[in-house]
């Protein structure tokens, strides 16, 4: 795939670093979402010599991401970033490269249903599943991440792993009980999307109280409230799920669960959107899977 290039660019990780540096030089530093994706690529593929990064490697990468729980849209975005990094290296640094194998790998991954349009999911964790997950986390003496607290906070806040681990103590407004999530993911706004998120107790867990439990780690105002690597959080969740033989449950499903609980608590679409960050209210439909018995509960509330 790659025949030659500058001597200081030997691995795919070198190309990622060079791309990031180039973007910073022209005043276009990576936003949090893209930075997270490129750091993941570097972790997974960074050590591969650029001459050995062929289509088969890309397919293997796509398969591994799918096994980790990444959906078709996410894997597709990862493959697109691989192509972007290679194309940038060719255009800016004279690396002789063809992206044709990446395109062929995308075709293969698409036929394997690993890359494609997002599938609408309605998977919600059961109370029993959450109970055994918490027992597994709390009973694992080797686990240094407070996974029970993080999972509860995910359901209380509807935040993604990368958002949970990025909020800092200086982003917290104690008077208003909100926290600023910087550069929140938004498919329509690629250039930053800071949002204040209410810290409620409407999901069965109290987001504000869970943050207070993290005070022991508040070494500075600039420190993250949850000072953990988001990929490590995801790995710990998958390991516990696999050990407990819980099928087809991802960390992102906790965001679905949170959104559904907010609706079940009686919040309007507008108020749910303030927590989840959805600007297009139609997008909330795919995250909303109300429990059937809530229909009777809400009807009784209307009549009271």
The more confidently predicted of residues 6 and 39 is 39
Annotated catalytic residue within 34, 106, 252, 261: 252
Q: Tell whether 169 and 202 lie within a shared domain.
A: yes
Beta strands in the chain (DSSP E): 2-4, 96-97, 172-173, 178-181, 195-198
Average per-residue pLDDT in the chain? 87
Q: Tell whether 107 and 177 lie within a shared domain.
A: no
User: 117 in a domain, yes or no?
Assistant: no
Q: Which of 83, 111, 139 is the last residue of a domain?
A: 111
The CATH number covering residue 28 comes to 1.10.150.130
The CATH number covering residue 138 comes to 1.10.443.10
User: 118 in a domain, yes or no?
Assistant: no
- pLDDT given for residue 269 in this prediction: 85
Candidates 177, 192, 171, 168; CA nearest to 275 is 177
- List of residues 6+ apart from 120 with CB closer than 8 A: 286
Q: Which of 64, 86, 111 is the last residue of a domain?
A: 111
Annotated catalytic residue within 119, 176, 190, 299: 190
Candidates 77, 84, 89, 75; CA nearest to 14 is 89
User: 132 in a domain, yes or no?
Assistant: yes
Q: What is the value of pTM for the model shown?
A: 0.68
Percent of the chain with pLDDT over 90: 62
- Is there a catalytic annotation at residue 231? no
pLDDT > 70? residue 215:
yes
Q: Tell whether 98 and 159 lie within a shared domain.
A: no
Cβ distance 214 to 171 under 8 Å? Answer: no
- List of residues 6+ apart from 50 with CB closer than 8 A: 1, 2, 5, 9, 10, 11, 12, 14, 15, 89, 95, 97
Q: Tell whether 175 and 288 lie within a shared domain.
A: yes
CB-count burial class (<10 Å; 0-12, 13-18, 19+) for 197: buried
User: 119 in a domain, yes or no?
Assistant: no
The more confidently predicted of residues 73 and 284 is 73
Token pair belonging to 201 = 């107790």
- Is there a catalytic annotation at residue 190? yes
Q: Tell whether 41 and 174 lie within a shared domain.
A: no
- pLDDT given for residue 71 in this prediction: 83
136-152 tens-digit pLDDT: 999 999 999 999 999 99
Segment among 2-16, 45-59, 169-183 with least mean pLDDT: 2-16
pLDDT > 70? residue 241:
yes
Q: Tell whether 92 and 152 lie within a shared domain.
A: no
Q: Tell whether 142 and 12 lie within a shared domain.
A: no
- pLDDT given for residue 296 in this prediction: 43
Token pair belonging to 53 = 């990064």
Q: Which of 42, 76, 111 is the last residue of a domain?
A: 111
The predicted model gives 93-118 an average pLDDT of: 90
The more confidently predicted of residues 15 and 27 is 15
Q: How many CA atoms lie within 13 A of 280 on its CB side?
A: 10
pLDDT > 70? residue 118:
no
User: 120 in a domain, yes or no?
Assistant: no
In terms of C-beta distances under 8 Å and separation of at least 24 residues, what long-range contacts does 284-291 make, across chains too? 284/259, 286/118, 286/120, 286/121, 287/255, 287/256, 287/259, 287/260, 288/259, 288/260, 288/263, 289/122, 289/124, 289/256, 289/260, 290/260, 290/263, 290/264, 291/260, 291/264
- Is there a catalytic annotation at residue 160? yes
Annotated catalytic residue within 241, 255, 256, 261: 255
- pLDDT given for residue 69 in this prediction: 79
The predicted model gives 174-185 an average pLDDT of: 90
Determine which helix (DSSP H) or strand (DSSP E) holds 244, and give its type and residue range: none
Q: Alpha-carbon distance 268 to 253, whole Å?
A: 21
Paired residues of 135 in beta bridges: none
Q: Alpha-carbon distance 282 to 62, whole Å?
A: 29
Q: For 179, phi and psi rounded to 5 degrees?
A: -135, 140
Number of domains composing the chain:
2
> What domain range includes position 140?
127-303
- pLDDT given for residue 116 in this prediction: 87
The predicted model gives 45-68 an average pLDDT of: 93
- Is there a catalytic annotation at residue 255? yes
- Is there a catalytic annotation at residue 278? yes
Q: Tell whether 134 and 100 lie within a shared domain.
A: no
pLDDT > 50? residue 297:
no
Q: Tell whether 34 and 156 lie within a shared domain.
A: no
Annotated catalytic residue within 36, 205, 228, 287: 287
Percent of the chain with pLDDT over 70: 86
The predicted model gives 149-165 an average pLDDT of: 96
User: 122 in a domain, yes or no?
Assistant: no
Q: Tell whether 15 and 152 lie within a shared domain.
A: no
Q: Tell whether 271 and 193 lie within a shared domain.
A: yes
User: 121 in a domain, yes or no?
Assistant: no
- pLDDT given for residue 191 in this prediction: 54
- Is there a catalytic annotation at residue 177? no
Sheet with 195-198, strands from edge to edge, namely 172-173, 178-181, 195-198
Q: Alpha-carbon distance 169 to 224, whole Å?
A: 6
Annotated catalytic residue within 160, 184, 241, 256: 160
- List of residues 6+ apart from 189 with CB closer than 8 A: 279
Q: Tell whether 93 and 195 lie within a shared domain.
A: no
pLDDT > 90? residue 98:
no
């Amino acid at each position: 795939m790659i025949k030659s290039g500058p001597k200081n660019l030997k691995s795919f990780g070198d190309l990622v670093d060079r791309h990031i540096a180039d973007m910073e030089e022209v005043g276009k530093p990576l936003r949090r979402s893209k930075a997270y994706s490129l750091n993941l690529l570097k972790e997974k593929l960074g050590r591969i010599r650029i001459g050995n990064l062929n289509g088969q490697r890309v397919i293997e990468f796509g398969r591994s991401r799918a096994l980790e729980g990444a959906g078709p849209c996410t894997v597709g975005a990862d493959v697109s970033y691989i192509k972007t990094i290679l194309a940038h290296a060719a255009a800016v640094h004279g690396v002789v490269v063809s992206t044709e194998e990446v395109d062929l790998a995308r075709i293969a991954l698409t036929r394997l249903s690993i890359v494609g349009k997002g599938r609408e999911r309605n998977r919600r964790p059961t109370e029993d599943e959450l109970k055994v997950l918490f027992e597994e986390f709390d009973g694992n003496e080797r686990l240094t991440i407070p996974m029970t607290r993080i999972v509860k906070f995910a359901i209380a806040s509807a935040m993604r792993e990368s958002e949970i681990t990025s909020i800092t103590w200086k982003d917290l407004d104690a008077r208003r009980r909100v926290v600023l999530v910087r550069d929140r993911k938004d498919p329509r706004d690629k250039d930053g999307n800071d949002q204040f998120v209410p810290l409620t107790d409407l999901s069965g867990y109290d987001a504000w109280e869970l943050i207070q439990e993290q005070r022991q780690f508040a070494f500075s105002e600039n420190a993250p409230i949850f000072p953990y690597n988001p990929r490590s959080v995801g790995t710990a969740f998958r390991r516990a799920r696999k050990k407990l033989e819980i099928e087809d449950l991802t960390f992102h499903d906790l965001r679905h669960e949170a959104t559904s609980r907010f609706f079940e608590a009686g919040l309007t679409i507008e108020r749910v959107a303030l927590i989840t960050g959805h600007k297009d209210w139609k997008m909330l439909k795919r995250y909303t899977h109300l429990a059937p018995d809530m229909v009777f509960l809400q009807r009784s509330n209307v009549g009271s």
